[in-house]
Amino acid sequence: MFSARWQIDAKFGHKQTVLELLHKWERDIGSQAGIEDLKFRIMTGSIGAREATIETHHEAESLARLEEFFARIAKIDAHAKWGKEMEPYVVSGTSLWNIFRIVE
């Protein structure tokens, strides 16, 4: 089992907008790529983390399943448009993917 974590930092004063855009992505784009099978979650920094940090978690049974999900997203035109819509509200250079193996 794997957890794919995508992390970004919202610009000051724009955290709520970024969260709203992530929910829009989940509803309009992720749903087309099979996100309902990945235990998708959105988290924000709270204690010991930057408040501006927002993470999405996708849990998958295999790396092949994650690759399939990423390939599906790449074919959705709305995904690129969504990224351009999100850009003004995110600190440039903070986008980061981490993939962890779940051992428990």
CATH class of 2-101: alpha beta
Greater confidence (2 vs 45) lies with 2
Instruction: Look up residue 70 and give its two tokens.
Output: 């990423």
Any idea where the domains of the chain sit in the sequence?
2-101
Q: What is the mean pLDDT of the chain?
A: 95
Is residue 60 within 8 A of residue 4, CB to CB? The reply is yes
pLDDT digits (tens, 9 = 90+) for 8-39: 999 999 999 999 999 999 999 999 998 888 99
